Structure formats: C-alpha cells, structure tokens
Amino acid sequence: MYANVIIQYGNKAVDREFTYIIPISFRDKIKVGHRVRVLFNNREIEGFVLEIFDRYDGKYELNEIISLVDSEPILNDEMLYLGREICNKTLCSKISAYQVMLPKALKASESTNIGVKKNRYIVLNVSLEKLDDYISKCRYPKQIDLLNQLKDKERILFSSKFSGVDTLFKNGIIRYEYEESYRYNVNASGRYKVVNLNEDQLNVVNSVDLFKHDTYLLYGVTGSGKTEVYMELIDKVLKNGKDAIMLVPEISLTPQIVDRFVTRFGDNVAILHSGLSDTERYDEYRKIMDGRVKIVVGARSAIFAPFKNLGIVIIDEEHTSTYKQENHPRYNAKDVAMMRGKYNNIPVLLGSATPSLESFARASKDVYKLLLLTKRAGNGKLPKVHVVDMKNEIKKGNFILSKVLIDNINDRLVKGEQVILLLNRRGYSSMLTCRDCGSVLKCPNCDISLTYHKTSNSNRCHYCNYSIKNIRECLQCGSSNMKDYGLGTEKLEEELNKLFDARIVRMDMDTTSKKGMHEKIVNDFGEHKYDILVGTQMIAKGLDYPLVTLVGVINADSSLNVPDFRSSENTFQLLSQVSGRAGRSEITGEVVIQTYNPEHYSIRYAKEHDYLGFYKEEMSIRRELCYSPYFYITLVNISSRDYDIGFREANKIGDYLRKNLSNDTKVLGPSMANIFRINNVYYYQCIIKYKKDDKLNKVLREIDDIYKINTLVDVCVDVDPVRI
Ligand code: ADP
Ligand code: ZN
Ligand code: ZN
C-alpha cells in the first residue's frame, strides 16, 4: 500500500504530494487525513496523508512512512474538501490550505511542545471494610483525613499538599485516574437574562429553513436584536442535535458577547480568538473535536471548527474586512462558510446593520434571502446625529474639539452618563516636521512618516515597527524648531484631561497589547469606572453600554482619505457602527461627527441612518468605475528588494496578463502600491477586473509557477481583495 503525502517544507517549489510506502505495521490504522512523519531530503518532517492506494507504477525508489503522529486522522473528509476548495479559490499553496485550518499544536511541523493538560484524581481502590481496617492501623492523621474523605467522595483532585499519598498508592489502598482538562473556562456573570423575542425577531427566526442550504442576509439596524435572533436559531439547531458556528469580528469578540452566549448555553460553548495562548487554543479546539461543546463563538479561524454535525453558520457584522485573512492563504471566512453550508446542506446567515455592497446586491437579486429588522428591540430610538464642519471651527480656534461636542460632553458628565470618542489614529501626532527646512521625519525603511508616541517618547513606524527615541532636532538641518501635525489618540486623551474633570480611558493597539487589557478596559468602562472612552475603531463594534448617550467622531475624514475604492463604504459603515453605540437603552443618544467634508454622501447618509440611500448612490459609482459588485477584482502584487527588478518583472506580468486573459477582462497597471516601499521592499500591483473569465485561474497559476522559484521577486495573488 502507498500514500500520497503533502509535507510542510517551507519552500513553495516543494508544494506537491510525494508518495511513500505504508509499512505493514500500521496498514490497518492509517487513513486519509492522518498526520505522519516522513523522511524528505534526509530530514524527518511531518505531513498529511491525502490519498491511499494499492499500486505504484512510478519509477522512483520510495521511502516508508516513519510513523503516525496521532491515533486518529487530524483532517476529516470535510476538511480535506475545504482544503482543496480554498486552494482552488485563493491559489494558495496546498499545504497552507490544510495548515490554516488547525491550531498550532496539530499542524504538521517539525516539533511542537503543546501538550494536553491532564488532572490526576485519587480514587479508593479497596472495599470500605478494608479501608476501615487500614485506618485503624494508620498512625498519620493527614492520611487518615484523606482516607475519610474518600469514604463519601468518588474521587479527589490530587494536590501536592497531601502527604503519604505515594505510600497509600504503593499499598494498593488508592489508585490514580487521569482526565484531560481544559485551561480556558468562562463563567456567566449573571448580568444577562434570556429575553422573549418580539414579533419581528420571531419572523426572522421562522424564515430560516434549517434543513437546507441557503444564504440569508439579515439586515437589521444596530440594536435591533440580531444577537438574540442568532441565539434563538442556535438553540433550535441544538435541539435538532446539531452544532453551530458563530463568527464575530476579532475586535467585537468582547467579554460582553461571550458572556451572553455562556449565559444562554453554559459550558456548551467554545471560544476561539487571537487573545488565547497556543495551549488554550488547543484546548478549545479539542473541546470541539471531542464533541464536548456544540457551539463555537470565534473570530475568523473558527470557521474551521471541526464539528461533525454542523447545523448552521452565522456571521455577524458580515461587512467586516477582517473575515478575510490578509496573508497567505488569503481565504475569506465568508467563502468558507458557503463551502461548509453546501457540504452540510445547512443555512448560512450573514448579519449586519450595514451590509457590504456585495451581499446586499446579491440579496436584492434573490441570490441571498433578505431578512429585515427595522426597529431597535428595546424601544430605544436611533440617535440624533449632528455633523460639524471643522473648517468653521478652526476659524474659531477650535482645532481638536468643536464647541458642540464640548458642550455635549459637559452635559453628559453633569448627568452622570458616559461618552465614547472615536479617533482612528493611534499615537500622539501623525508627523514631525521641521519649520526651518520643511523636512518630515520619515521611516528609513518605508515611504511613510513616523508617528510620535509621547508615552514612550519615540517616533514609530506603524508598518515595519522601526522606532527612534528622543528626537528634538531635525535630522536634516539640526534645527530644534520642530512642529508636530496630526492628531492621535494619545494627544486627544491629553487634551480631554485638560478640558474636563472626568475619568478617561484610552483603548487602542498601544493600550491593549498586553493580554487581558482589552477585556479589562471594556469591563471597567461597563462598570462605569470611567466617564469617557477614547479609542480607535476598536471601540466601534459590539459594545453595548446602556449609559452611553453620546458618541463623538473626531475626524471622520481619516477613512475617507484612504485611496481605495471602498473608502466611502468603509466610512459609512464605521460612522453607522459607532453611532450605533449611542442610546441603546431608554435614553435617546446623540452623535457628533466632526469632518472637513460635511457634504460627502457617506457622511450625509450616515447622519440620516439611510443605508438604502447610501447603497444606491454607491452602487451607481461602482458601476461607472467598473468595480465590485459589478466586476470581480483580483490583485496581483509584485514585490522586490531591488527597485529595477521589481519594475521590470511587474511590467512583464502586466503584459502577460493583458495578452492571455479574455478580451472583456480589464488589466490595470502595474502601478506602485499605495505605500510603495515597506521595510525596504518595493511593491507594485496589477488590478484585474472581470465579470467572468475562464482563463483567469489558469493564467494566474502559470504566473505563480514561474515566480515560485524566483527568489528576487515575490508574486502574490489576492482574489477578491478587501483593500487595494
Ligand atoms: P444587535 O445585535 O442587533 O445590535 P442585540 O441583540 O445586541 O442587537 O440587542 C440590543 C439590545 O436589545 C440588547 O440589550 C438586548 O438584550 C435587547 N433586546 C434584544 N431583543 C429584545 C427583546 N425581544 N426584548 C427586549 N430586549 C431585547
Ligand atoms: Zn530641518
Ligand atoms: Zn517603516
């Protein structure tokens, strides 16, 4: 018998299957999906069995598989299918398509030391009579105490504090039992109650057919009770004896949402997010694999949860770009959800208050089934939104906060209510400029200015992490006449502290980099230990605080100015999401949006809570410019450390695409990427726009094949990119 094995070798050119002989000793055991150890290039490495067969007609002298790593296959049939599909859709390497589905402990690798934690229990090994006999002769009070406990306890968790346990074991009085334990556990806070769904919610729940595959788009305004709908559907799925996957964006995977699920479903829930350590992640994964839980709530990679009897996949905030993995393999969890939906013949539910244009367009063409929740559930009203033109404020000397916002903040502080302020830029100021020679302090490795961070007194590059401390003088002319421009969250926090007598907390990548800090800030703010929460877009999602009645957006233009065809959509979504944080209880909320472009349509529609208006206007622009959802987009990114080689090869690739793709397909570029140089690598890109192109996959593979052995140029294909 023979097996084809895909190995992890860390070299694109070796990304294919190799044949090995299956030794007689484990012929009965080995299955497709098993993780095995094999010899490759005289090195012992791991791989996955993808095929088993009887006859080998090739001419190579084959090696034997050395051993099976696990007793059972790690990849089940569905995962093998997903791996093939992901590889096909994203053009990624084969091995990466399988590896990405697994926690680190189960990936094919050279070694991992992530083990299973086992608890040791002490169990009585003799009859009660014999026990009494032993106790009567025993001289050690501590042993007697332990033995007495065993009289009415089935087992006792071992502790090093016990003494004489070894003697008891040697004498056969007790024995040990071992049981796998899980390191990550959450308990319900008791803060949440199960609510009775209103009529609209019930309608939505009843519209979902749990016994066939369809994709549903639930368009429900913020606070309309979508999460309650998800939980109700999951409850039904569980009653049918099936399992459920619930995806939420990484940054909305807050303790709040976890708490709500644990309150409702107890220890039937596994949680997967990037804050877990490798061992915790392994434990959560095993809970799913071993059938100990029936629900997973998690970020992107939870879409691969190895449930054997999946009943529904729900994706909340479906418009979020982080469902797409931005490095190899560039899969989108939404696509994987559809694959699993079809494979298992089960529904996939996408939910959002601001659906992506792609999803809403599909829903309006009945490709997806549209479900609606148009009102807030708890009788709360949508907030009133003020748009402030900062051009006028600056004339009055208000550079950071407008008068309206200051007055409103003061008003809430007096009333004992809470305020959330969004500023989508971390650090203190965005650039340092010399007043004498005009030069800007830039990253030596990237085409980008350095951001000043006051807390660490350093100027840092947000792309390559370069950092330089204590700059007081211009590096070009030596002048000490330096001025910083641009506003970051650090400076905003400082300014707020000057203006208000309030308890202020900041949440951005810098204050949440330590494990547990994100949870802490969220909880503390929830317990009203702070009055004002300042943060980057991290704060825009998923948080539900009844006391927040005012939301301020400090600079709505920062996302508008991004050179990407989705910048208006992203701005509209961000403003709507963050506005949705205000007034989620009885008190109606207010939102103040500060901008230099008050007439911009994404801001105008966000002010009116008019998703449909925005959708129509944006769709007509997309049609005009031939962008998604009218055209599909694929990016070919070409990068090199050598400026000239990068330029030359990028042009060759552009020509090749133009020559070989269908006539209706448009190829733009190559052009320089938005940030041309990052970490001393130069980036070019070709944009391919197409409606249908049967040649595309083949042509891209050809390019990939040519360049995967080229060490000077890196070519990376991004199908359906989330940013350009
Ligand atoms: P969404 O996910 O759409 O933002 P949630 O499910 O978080 O909405 O609900 C918003 C708020 O309304 C929550 O505090 C929730 O407990 C409450 N809520 C939802 N459905 C109901 C209901 N049927 N009756 C009362 N309160 C509800
Ligand atoms: Zn200077
Ligand atoms: Zn840099």
pLDDT, position 112: 65
Burial class for 411, CB neighbours closer than 10 Å (0-12, 13-18, 19+): middle
Rounded CA-CA distance 25/716 in Å is: 43
Backbone Cα Rg of the chain = 29
* Token pair of 669 as six digits: 């570029």
Please give the distance, rounded to the nearest whole angstrom, from the Cα atom of residue 45 to the centre of ligand 2: 55
DSSP character for 14?
G
Residues with Cβ within 8 Å of residue 250, at least 6 apart in sequence: 273, 274, 299, 300, 322
Confidence at 699, pLDDT banded by 50, 70, 90: very high
Question: What's domain 2-106's architecture?
Answer: 3-Layer(aba) Sandwich (3.40)
Relative to the alpha carbon of 467, which ligand is closest? Answer: 3
pLDDT, position 183: 63
Question: What's domain 430-485's architecture?
Answer: Single Sheet (2.20)
Least confident among 434-443, 597-606, 637-646: 434-443
The ligand 1 atom at the shortest distance from the C-alpha of residue 227 is 6
The ligand 1 atom at the shortest distance from the C-alpha of residue 546 is 14
pLDDT at 313 over 70: yes
Closest CA to ligand 1's atom 26: 378
Rounded CA-CA distance 630/618 in Å is: 12
* Token pair of 204 as six digits: 């939505």
Stretch 298-326: mean pLDDT? 96
Relative to the alpha carbon of 482, which ligand is closest? Answer: 2
Please give the distance, rounded to the nearest whole angstrom, from the Cα atom of residue 44 to the centre of ligand 2: 57
Confidence at 292, pLDDT banded by 50, 70, 90: very high
Q: Strands 681-690, 666-678: parallel, antiparallel or unpaired by DSSP?
A: antiparallel
pLDDT, position 110: 66
Please give the distance, rounded to the nearest whole angstrom, from the Cα atom of residue 595 to the centre of ligand 3: 29
Closest CA to ligand 1's atom 19: 225
The ligand 1 atom at the shortest distance from the C-alpha of residue 222 is 4
Label residue 629 left, alpha or beta by phi (over 0 means left) and psi (-120 to 50 means alpha).
alpha
pLDDT tens string 405-417: 999 999 999 999 9
DSSP character for 100?
T
pLDDT at 10 over 90: no
- In this prediction, what percent of the chain has a pLDDT beyond 90? 65
Please give the distance, rounded to the nearest whole angstrom, from the Cα atom of residue 476 to the centre of ligand 2: 5
Residues with CB under 5 A from ligand 2 (ion): 434, 436-437, 474, 476-477, 479
What secondary structure does DSSP assign to 198-237, as a single string? -HHHHHHHHH--TTS--EEEEEE-TTSSHHHHHHHHHHHH
The ligand 1 atom at the shortest distance from the C-alpha of residue 584 is 11
Angle between helices 255-265 and 226-239 (to 10 degrees): 40
Rounded CA-CA distance 175/155 in Å is: 10
pLDDT tens string 349-376: 999 999 999 999 999 999 999 999 999 8
The answer to whether 243 touches 237, Cβ cutoff 8 Å, is: yes
Rounded CA-CA distance 468/391 in Å is: 34
Stretch 42-66: mean pLDDT? 93
Please give the distance, rounded to the nearest whole angstrom, from the Cα atom of residue 218 to the centre of ligand 1: 15
The answer to whether 175 touches 169, Cβ cutoff 8 Å, is: yes
| Ligand 1 proximity of 398 Cβ (cutoff 6 Å) | no
pLDDT, position 622: 95
| Ligand 1 proximity of 194 Cβ (cutoff 6 Å) | no
The answer to whether 677 touches 631, Cβ cutoff 8 Å, is: no
* Token pair of 614 as six digits: 């925005």
With b meaning 16 or more CB within 10 Å and e meaning fewer, what string describes 81-96?
A: ebbebbbebbbbbbbb
Predicted model pTM: 0.89
List the beta strands (DSSP E) in 504-587: 504-507, 532-535, 548-553
Rounded CA-CA distance 525/545 in Å is: 8
The ligand 1 atom at the shortest distance from the C-alpha of residue 228 is 6
Burial class for 491, CB neighbours closer than 10 Å (0-12, 13-18, 19+): buried
Comparing 291 with 111, the larger pLDDT belongs to 291
pLDDT, position 540: 73
pLDDT at 68 over 80: yes
pLDDT tens string 27-51: 999 999 999 999 998 889 999 999 9
Two domains, one topology: 199-378 and 380-426+488-622: yes
| Ligand 1 proximity of 585 Cβ (cutoff 6 Å) | no
Please give the distance, rounded to the nearest whole angstrom, from the Cα atom of residue 411 to the centre of ligand 1: 27
Relative to the alpha carbon of 200, which ligand is closest? Answer: 1
State the fold for domain 380-426+488-622. Rossmann fold (3.40.50)
| Ligand 1 proximity of 425 Cβ (cutoff 6 Å) | no
Q: Which residue intervals of 296-378 are DSSP H helices?
A: 333-344, 357-364
Least confident among 81-90, 269-278, 618-627, 633-642: 269-278
Angle between helices 611-624 and 567-579 (to 10 degrees): 170
Task: Report the CATH number of the 632-719 domain.
Answer: 3.30.70.600
Please give the distance, rounded to the nearest whole angstrom, from the Cα atom of residue 677 to the centre of ligand 2: 23
Relative to the alpha carbon of 581, which ligand is closest? Answer: 1
Closest CA to ligand 1's atom 25: 378
Judge if the upstream peptide bond of residue 629 is cis by omega within 30 degrees of 0.
yes
Residues with Cβ within 8 Å of residue 518, at least 6 apart in sequence: 254, 275, 507, 512, 538
pLDDT, position 108: 86
pLDDT tens string 250-277: 877 777 788 899 999 998 999 998 778 8
Confidence at 463, pLDDT banded by 50, 70, 90: confident
The answer to whether 173 touches 200, Cβ cutoff 8 Å, is: no
Q: Around 601, how many Cα atoms within 13 Å sit in the side-chain half-sphere?
A: 14
Relative to the alpha carbon of 436, which ligand is closest? Answer: 2
| Ligand 1 proximity of 537 Cβ (cutoff 6 Å) | no
Relative to the alpha carbon of 434, which ligand is closest? Answer: 2
The ligand 1 atom at the shortest distance from the C-alpha of residue 224 is 3
Comparing 617 with 476, the larger pLDDT belongs to 617
pLDDT tens string 389-404: 999 999 999 999 999 9
Give the mutation target among 200, 203, 227, 297 for probing the ligand 1 site: most ligand atoms within 8 A of CB.
227
Rounded CA-CA distance 94/84 in Å is: 8
* Token pair of 109 as six digits: 């690798």
Phi and psi (nearest 5°) for 48? -115, 140
Confidence at 111, pLDDT banded by 50, 70, 90: low
Please give the distance, rounded to the nearest whole angstrom, from the Cα atom of residue 226 to the centre of ligand 1: 7
Closest CA to ligand 1's atom 5: 225
Rounded CA-CA distance 685/329 in Å is: 18
| SS3 at position 684 | strand
Give the mutation target among 192, 193, 195 for probing the ligand 1 site: most ligand atoms within 8 A of CB.
195
Least confident among 543-547, 562-566, 711-715: 543-547
| Ligand 1 proximity of 201 Cβ (cutoff 6 Å) | yes
Rounded CA-CA distance 70/216 in Å is: 39
What is the residue-averaged pLDDT of the chain?
91
Relative to the alpha carbon of 263, which ligand is closest? Answer: 1
Rounded CA-CA distance 633/273 in Å is: 29
Sign of dihedral through CA atoms 28, 30, 32, 33? Answer: positive
Stretch 108-126: mean pLDDT? 79
617-624: long-range contacts, CB 8 A cutoff, minimum separation 24: 618/357, 618/568, 618/569, 618/572, 619/357, 619/361, 621/568, 622/357, 622/565
| Degrees, nearest 5: CA angle 287-291-293 | 60
Please give the distance, rounded to the nearest whole angstrom, from the Cα atom of residue 275 to the centre of ligand 2: 43
What's the CATH class of domain 199-378? alpha beta
**Cβ atoms within 10 Å of 393's Cβ, excluding its own:** 19
The answer to whether 669 touches 631, Cβ cutoff 8 Å, is: no
Task: Indicate the domain borders of the chain.
Answer: 2-106, 118-180, 199-378, 380-426+488-622, 430-485, 632-719
pLDDT at 631 over 80: yes
Rounded CA-CA distance 57/616 in Å is: 60
Phi and psi (nearest 5°) for 589? -95, 170
Burial class for 40, CB neighbours closer than 10 Å (0-12, 13-18, 19+): middle
| SS3 at position 24 | helix
pLDDT at 544 over 80: no
pLDDT at 718 over 70: yes
Please give the distance, rounded to the nearest whole angstrom, from the Cα atom of residue 346 to the centre of ligand 1: 25
Stretch 144-158: mean pLDDT? 85
| Ligand 1 proximity of 689 Cβ (cutoff 6 Å) | no
